[in-house]
Amino acid sequence: SAVISQKPSRDICQRGTSLTIQCQVDSQVTMMFWYRQQPGQSLTLIATANQGSEATYESGFVIDKFPISRPNLTFSTLTVSNMSPEDSSIYLCSVALASQETQYFGPGTRLLVL
């Protein structure tokens, strides 16, 4: 398995601002993903972070709102832009060695937007 860290672990932000979340893995991985878990809900995939190219977004998520970077095989960032209270969620990154392999999750970033 991979050891995954996320920064920050939690934050409280004002509406209209942006927050960048970092995800760091202790080994090179093929695939990195970003999920959102709204309060009391299950996980929903936001996008797949592609190394060296634009992220692949799921329906309902757009790059302007959730820009993602992945400069190398061990690191990715997710930015939540122009935040509103509806963006209050846990944001989790996950990694996998290949597309059909087990995904391992980071500890999550707990975001509260006031």
Partner 1 sequence: AQSVTQPDIHITVSEGASLELRCNYSYGATPYLFWYVQSPGQGLQLLLKYFSGDTLVQGIKGFEAEFKRSQSSFNLRKPSVHWSDAAEYFCAVASSSNTGKLIFGQGTTLQVKP
| Interface ranges with partner 1 (CB under 8 A) | 1, 31, 33, 41-45, 48, 56, 58, 92, 94, 96, 98-100, 102-108, 110
The minimum distance between CB 75 and partner 1, in angstroms, equals: 18
The minimum distance between CB 110 and partner 1, in angstroms, equals: 8
DSSP one-letter string for 22-75:
EEEESS--SEEEEEEE-TT--EEEEEEEPTTS--EEPTT--TTTS-EEEEETTE
Calpha distance 73→31 (Å, rounded): 8
Give whichever of 19 and 106 is closer to partner 1, judged by the CB atom: 106
Give whichever of 14 and 42 is closer to partner 1, judged by the CB atom: 42
Give whichever of 92 and 113 is closer to partner 1, judged by the CB atom: 92
Tokens of 16: 């209209």
